Structures are given as C-alpha cells and as structure tokens.
Amino acid sequence: MIYAQSPLAVGLFITFVLFVLGLSFFLARRTTSSADYYAAGGQIHWFVNGIAFAGDYLSAASFLGICGMIATAGYDGFLYSIGYLAGWVVALFLVAEPMKRLGKFTFADALDSKFNSKGIQLTAAISTLLVSVFYLIPQMVGAGVLVQPLLGMPHYVGVLIVGIVVTIIVATAGMASTTYVQFMKGGMLLVFSTVLVVGVLGRGLSTSPDQGGKKAYHEFKTLAAQTGTDGSLQLSDSTYAVAADWKTGDLGKAGFVRLTKGGVDSVWKLKETGGGYALSETLFAKEFPNGTKLYNGLPKEQGAFFPVGAVKELRIDGKEVAQTGPLGPIGFLSSVKNSTVTLWGKTIVKESDGLTTVYFQKPTSGAKILRPGLKFKVDNATGTQKFNFMSLMLALFCGTAALPHILIRYYTVPSQAAARKSTIVAIAAIGFFYVLTLFMGLGAMTNGVINLNDENMSAPLLALSFGVVLFSIISSLAFATVLGTVSGLIVAASGAVAHDLMDNFLGMKMTDRNKVLAGKVAAIVVGCIAIYLGIIFEGMNVSFLVGWAFAVAASANLPAIMMILFWKKTTAQGVATSIVVGMVSAMGLILLSPDMWALYGKLPANAPISFNSPALVSVPLSFLSLVVVSLLTRKAAVPVAVEAA
Amino acid sequence: MGHGPAVKLGEDKASGYKAKLGMYLFVLYTLAYVVFVGISVLQPSLMESAFMGQTLAVAYGMGLIIFAFVLAIIYNRFCSRAEQRLNN
C-alpha cells in the first residue's frame, strides 16, 4: 500500500462538513425570496465572490488532475493551467459586466434579455443542464475515487456522501450557502497549497529522495545479461531464474523479460548493448481473468508497488551533485531544467493468463520536461496531432467564460464594478494557484511519491511526505474541492429547471415563495441524478467528461454570448440555432472520436474522424450558424427590449 | 418574464468605453496566447531554448499568467476612472 487511511483526514473532513451544514441551516433562515436563493440577494462582497469564483473553478480536475499530469508528463499538464487561466481573460474583458447587466438568475436570462424567445429559453436551459451534468459526473466519480484510498470505503459511499451533503447545502440556502462554502474552500486551497510548495522548495532536490528522512527511495536495479549458445538468457545475478520463452512470449515481444526470485515474479525492460543486454527493473501490475490483481508479483497489501519519482542526474552550475538543499522558486525550476529526471513509460501487454501493465523507466532531460511534447505530440507531429493540440487549447480558452456555474456567480454581487473586481480577484487567486501547480507537480515528480496506478493522488501523496497532518488537511481539502464545485453546478442546474424551464419557458405562474420551493426541489432531483450517474460511471476516465463539458460549453454557449454582445444583427433564431449546432456538433464529434472508439472496445484507427478535441470545428460552426440564421431571419425578427425588473 | 438584474442597477454611462477597452485588451491577450500555441505547434523545439535561465515554455507560460493579471489591473484602473468621470 502506498497510502493508508488517516483518521485525522476523516476527522477534518467531518468537521468541515458539519461546519458548512451548520452555516447552510443558518443562512437558510435568511433565504426567503428567489433573489436570495438564486443570487444570494445580489449582495455578496466582490472579494468574497472572487475567492468563491476560485472555489467554484478549482475543481478536482484542477487540483488533483493537473498536479498528477505535471508529475508524470511535465509541462503538458501545465498547459491546462495556462489555458484555464487564459479563459478568465475572456470572462473579464468580454463577459463579466454585460452578464451582470443583462441577466437575473441564470445564463439563459442574459441570452434572452433582448428577445423574450421561447427558443432561447429552451435551448439555453438544455445547454446549461447538459454542461452542468457533464461537469457533475467527473466530480462525483472523483469523490468516489478519493474515498476509496483515503477512507477505506467503497466508491458509492464517497459519491453518496458528497451528493447528500451538497444537496443539503444547496437545498437549504441556495447560492448564499454555496458562495460561503466555495469561499472557504477556495481560501484554504490557496493557503495550504502555498504551504506545500514552501515545503517542496525548502526540501530542494535530491537524487535519493527520502521524504525528509522518513522513507528511503527504492533503488531500481540494473542487470547485465548475455545470450547463451542454447538461446537462453544468462544473467549477471544467478539468483534470478529466467522464463524459457523469454524472447518469444508476449512480454518478450513487447521488449520485456519476466524473472523469478524466491517465487516472486519481476518484469525487466530489455535493452540491447554491444553483444548483450542491459535489464532495468520495472513496476508492473497483473490482472488475472478472475479479477485478482498482483502488484510487482505480490498482493497490494505487501507494498511491493513502490512509489516513484526521482532526479537521476542533478546538476548545479554544471557540476553533478547529490542534493541541492533549499531552493527559491526560480532556482528550483532552473535546477530541474539542468538535470535529468526519471519519468515512467507505460505499456499494456496481453498475455494468455491475464493483462500485464508495465511501467518502465524513461530518463528525460529537464529541458524536455519543461516544454510541451511529452503527452501531446508536437514534435514531428502529423496534421491531426497539431489540430488536436490547437483544438484543446481553444476549448480551454473559450470554455471558462461559457460555464453556467461560473456565469451565475456574476449575479451575486451588487454592481457591474463589483462583477469586474470579483473577476480580477479570481484571476489573481486562480493564477496564483496555477503557478503553484507547477511546483506541486514537479515536487511530486522528484520526491518519490507518485503512485503510477493513480497519478491523481500525486498532490495528496506529496503532502503525506511532509507528514500526516498536512496530508490530512490536503486530503480533506480534496473532498471540499469536490463539495464546492458540485454545489455550484447543482445551483446552476436547478436554476435551469426551475427558473428557465418551469417559470420562463412553460410560463408556470408561481409565487416568489413557490419559485424558491421549485428551485429546492429541482436541486434535490438534480442531486439524486448526480449521485446515480456518479455511481454508474465508476471507472470512467474523468478527463473525458471534463473535456466534454468544456467543449460543449465553448461551442454551445460562448458564440451566443459573444454575438449578442458584439453583433447588432443577432436574432433570437440565430442564438437558438447556434446553441443547438454547438451542442450537437461538439457532442457528435466527441462520440465519433478515436478515444471514444477505444472506449467502445473498437480500434481507434477505425473511428470515423481522426481527432479527439472538437472545439476547432464546433466553435466556428456555432458562430457560422448564428451568423447565417441571423441574416436569414433578420427581417422577420422583432427584438423586444425588456427593462430591468 | 423574469429577466433583468437581481438587484437594481443605475445607468452606467461608462459601459461603452469599458466594452471597447475590454475588446482591445482581449485582442492583445489573445495575440499573446495565439503566438504561444503557434510556437508550441510549429516550432516546439524553440520552447526548449533557454530564456532568462528557464526554458522559453516556462517563461512564456508564467508570463501569460502574470500578463493576464497585469492587464486585469490596468483594465480595472481605467474602468474605475471612467465610471467616476462619467457616472458622477
């Protein structure tokens, strides 16, 4: 086991949950009108709202996913940080103040403010629901993933805990309680991530990271070998036995060899040298047809699947050293750049008795780690690979300012200036956090803490290397991260159902009190759906679903917002069409993509399209459809100016 | 219909100025972002070259994050001045 359950983490999480539930019940007494429920009365201070933006936005994908990706793939993980932050520029310069000026409770309000169109009300509500649900699923799955190693409970318990707590938070005081939960979570995330980074810099870099003297790093062995006259493999260490079919077996064909010592299997990577072979030790997990799994030839509890991540050659001022001592942030990055770090490649080998996943060492220069290209193919890339990269960066840039749970936060402040200022606080807080992700990720990469079976746990495991207290705080924060983001999404989704569909689209006449009740019932229903989806999507790669949410939001929502604000010839039909075209094209392209083909159990090469990221097609298509339909329907359109309520 | 802001907003005579300024700054930042993506795709090896002791990729990436904050501060300053000048 790489990590064990921490009672302190459980205690901190329960304390946090009890506190936010108490706060929610307290705020519920002040939540009497629909403006209170959906927009926290529009009276939240811009600084609180700005940090709450950070709490809303820094989801499990940001905290766990980006740190984990940087830890295993270097700079390519940091590309997400850059892209996500860049999206806030779109939000500040183009969207913040107009959203505050035009809307009331939901994203659909702002789109429909000039038109009073049933088409916009329906399509915008569906788009909000779709994006919110796609964003909810990975958060709920993430909750289940977290609860298993940290609390020792099954996946569905984590999903249930988060689902029930969040539904209570939202159903009691709506946006008011949600805002303060996010404010606390956002603030704590910034503080303790800073503490973690200070620890990483204080520890510096070492070729034998021992977690501050607590745990020695496993030294991965290398063996020499020759081929005998009978074709057998003769090792320099005769205590190992070699399988007879070492060259012709499934592992041999993939470039590996299985050795046995003391009845325990190990897998080694074969590399031809002048007249012989060099064998380097790997980590491997074997899954048998009956579901049994062995890690490095032993059950998981034996702890043979070592944590990894170390500098191989450390150079300071051109000289090779064993450790650096404390470093400043710039010195830390320079030292990584000038050194060589052992990264890990992954190969899955199908054998007759099961599936073997082999992780092998890949010494990589720091300069290569600190530039794009280890995860996303950019060197000597094909046109499709370049297209994929650009499309991803476009989706990150455009997606943020189109996420419904982010947009509705503009309604919680009292003025347009407050909307602007809260966005600037968000940029400062989120930008600062994303800078920290590079240090946390590289810290995990070089401190011998990575669990190659689950890179998402890199940040909590890095914290564990500094002691159980920091680990417990970071782990409970990871839960709080899910709580904060899910609560924002449920408010957005309940607003789409109760306010956009029931009140506006269907024209159901409700008193203000009943509007609040409808919102609360909608929140409970959405919460139940989220719990259900979180359970049935167990094991689904969460990054797929986050990618869906960003791509759909960027394609369906952003063109509509931008054109309403900046093109006077925009018509209601054009807006509704662009939302539908953006939604359908983004979803359709994702469903036909090679990555999805692999999920269907088919060959990715046989997928109808060759790219995975749809934004570079679906965003322009959505813009184009809005322009064409608006021009075609221009004469018939009679915009209705609606005064502020 | 339930549209319009949740709270009463006064007339903002600076909104046109702010929208125009926002658009200029958006274009400026977008250009910097497009060049970053362009280098990564067209000349990825350039991102490995040293710049102020770091790789160009780190310097540019950090620069984009800091640039966003700097532009945000500039934007707020000009917007606040315009609001004081035109709305009071």
Chain centroid, CA A9 distance in Å = 22
Nearest CA in chain A to B10: A415
**Residue A136 sits in the same domain as residue A183:** yes
Q: Which amino acid is at A81?
A: S
Q: Answer yes or no: do A156 and A243 share one domain.
A: no
8 Å CB contact between A552 and A583? yes
Neighbour-count burial of A415, counting CB atoms closer than 10 A to its CB (0-12 exposed, 13-18 middle, 19+ buried): buried
Q: Is the distance from CB of A56 to CB of A405 less than 8 angstroms?
A: yes
| Cβ separation A415–B47 shorter than 8 A | no
Place of tokens 């339930």: B2
Chain A positions in Cβ-Cβ contact with residue B48 (cut-off 8 Å): 367-368, 370-371
The answer to whether position A544 is within a domain reads no
Say what the pLDDT of residue A632 is: 94
pLDDT digits (tens, 9 = 90+) for A436-482: 999 999 999 999 999 888 777 888 889 989 988 888 888 888 777 78
Cβ neighbors of A591 (< 8 A, separation 6 or more) are: none
A264 domain-assigned: yes
Q: What is the mean pLDDT of residues A150-170?
A: 82
Residues A305 and A333 in one domain: yes
In this prediction, the residues of chain B whose per-residue pLDDT falls under 70 are 1-9
Same domain, A47 and A96: yes
- Give yes or no: residues A338 and A280 share one domain: yes
Asked whether residue A375 is assigned to any structural domain, the reply reads no
Instruction: Say if A584 falls within a structural domain.
Output: no
Considering the domain boundaries, does residue A469 fall inside one? Answer: yes
Q: Do strands A340-351 and A354-365 pair parallel, antiparallel, or not at all (unpaired)?
A: antiparallel
Examine the domain organization and report whether A275 and A313 are in the same domain: yes
Domain containing A426 equals 11-204+406-539
Give the pLDDT confidence score for residue A639 in this predicted structure: 53
Query: In terms of domains, do A227 and A317 share one?
Result: yes
Interface mutation target, options A32, A37, A82, A509, chain B, most CBs of B under 10 Å: A82
User: Which pLDDT does position A8 carry in this prediction?
Assistant: 80
Judge: A101–B80 Cβ closer than 8 Å, yes or no.
no
Nearest to A378 among B18, B41, B54 (CB): B41
pLDDT in the model for residue A541: 59
Q: Is residue A18 part of a domain?
A: yes
Please indicate whether, in this complex, the C-beta atoms of B68 and A368 are within 8 angstroms of each other. Answer: no
How do A241-242 and A256-261 pair as beta strands? antiparallel
In tens, the pLDDT along A90-119 reads 999 998 888 888 877 888 888 888 888 899
pLDDT of A288 over the 60 cut: yes
pLDDT of residue A278: 93
- The closest CB to that of A372, out of B12, B33, B57, belongs to B57
- Domain-terminating residue out of A514, A539, A564: A539
Total structural domains within chain A: 2
Query: Is A405 in contact with A132 (CB distance < 8 Å)?
Result: yes
Distance CA A94, CA A89 (A): 8
Angle between helices A118-151 and A155-203 (to 10 degrees): 70
Both A359 and A468 in a single domain?
Answer: no
Whether A297 is covered by a domain: the verdict is yes
A179 lies in the same domain as A44 = yes
Q: Which of A539, A564, A599 is the last residue of a domain?
A: A539
CA distance A434 to A448: 22
* Res. A553: pLDDT tops 50: yes
Q: What element of type H or E holds A235?
A: strand A233-235
Of B2, B15, B64, the CB nearest to A82: B64
- What distance in Å separates the CA atoms of residue A569 and residue A562, rounded to the nearest whole number? 12
Please name the residues in contact with A210: beta carbons below 8 A apart, sequence gap of 6 or more: A216, A217, A448
* Per-residue pLDDT at A82: 95
Flag whether residue B59 sits within 8 Å of chain A, measured between CB atoms: no
Domain stop point among A314, A349, A369: A369
Q: Is there a single domain that holds both residue A312 and residue A194?
A: no
- Model confidence at A585: pLDDT above 80: yes
Residue A644's pLDDT band, with cuts at 50, 70 and 90, is very low
User: Do β-strands A276-281 and A264-273 pair in parallel, antiparallel, or remain unpaired?
Assistant: antiparallel
At A76 the pLDDT is 93
Higher-confidence residue: A602 or A559?
A: A559
Q: Please tell me which residue of chain B has the smallest CA distance to A379.
A: B44
- pLDDT in the model for residue B9: 64
Instruction: Give me the percent of chain A exceeding a pLDDT of 90.
Output: 38
Q: How far apart are CA B82 and CA B88, in angstroms?
A: 10
B72 reaches A (C-beta below 8 A): yes
Q: What mean pLDDT do residues A285-291 have?
A: 90
Q: Which residues 85-114 in chain A show a CB within 8 A of chain B?
A: 85-86, 88-90, 92-94, 97-98, 100-105, 109, 112-113
Judged against a pLDDT cut of 90, whether residue A284 lies above it is answered with: yes
Q: Does B74 touch chain A (CB under 8 A)?
A: no
Query: How far apart (Å, rounded) are the C-alpha atoms in residues B62 and B75?
Result: 20
Residues contacting A19, CB < 8 A, separation 6+:
none
Say if A316 is an interface residue toward chain B (CB within 8 Å): no
C-alpha distances out from residue A508 to A62, A106, A511, Å? 39, 17, 10
In Å, how far are A24, A250, A379, B54 from B47, measured between CA atoms?
A: 48, 39, 11, 10
Partner residue facing B6 (CB), from A39, A389, A504: A39
Residue A29 or A585, more confident: A585
The reply to whether B51 touches chain A by the CB within 8 Å rule is no
Closest residue on chain A to B24 (Cα): A93
Residue A276 dihedral angles phi and psi, to the nearest 5°:
-160, -155
Q: How far apart are CA A269 and CA A362, in angstroms?
A: 11
pLDDT, residue A203, reads 94
* More confident of the two residues B66 and A40: B66
Banded model confidence at residue A542, pLDDT cuts 50, 70, 90: low
pLDDT at A230 over 50: yes
In CATH, what number is assigned to the domain containing residue A131? 1.20.1730.10
**Exposure string over A258-272, b if 16+ CB within 10 A, otherwise e:** bbeeeeebbbbbbee
Cβ-defined contact of B5 to A423 (cutoff 8 Å): no
**Shared-domain flag, residues A24 and A168:** yes
Q: Identify the DSSP state of A66.
A: I
What are the phi and psi torsion angles at A508 (to 5°)? -70, 125
Residue A227's alpha-carbon distances to A9, A47, A232, A237, A616, in angstroms, are 53, 69, 6, 14, 53
Residue A222 pairs in a beta bridge with A280
Other C-beta atoms closer than 10 Å to the C-beta of A532 total 13
Longest pairwise C-alpha distance within chain B:
59
Mean pLDDT in residue range A270-286: 91
| CB interface of A with B, residues 557-576, below 8 Å | 565-566
Are residues A291 and A178 part of one domain?
no
* Interface contact flag, B29 A86, Cβ < 8 Å: yes
Residue A213 makes CB contacts below 8 A (sequence gap 6+) with none
Q: Is residue A216 part of a domain?
A: no
pLDDT confidence of residue A645: 33
User: How far does A258 lie from chain B, in Å, by closest CA?
Assistant: 37
Give tens-digit pLDDT for A302-351. 888 899 999 999 988 888 899 999 999 999 999 999 999 999 999 989 88
Whole-number mean pLDDT of chain A? 87
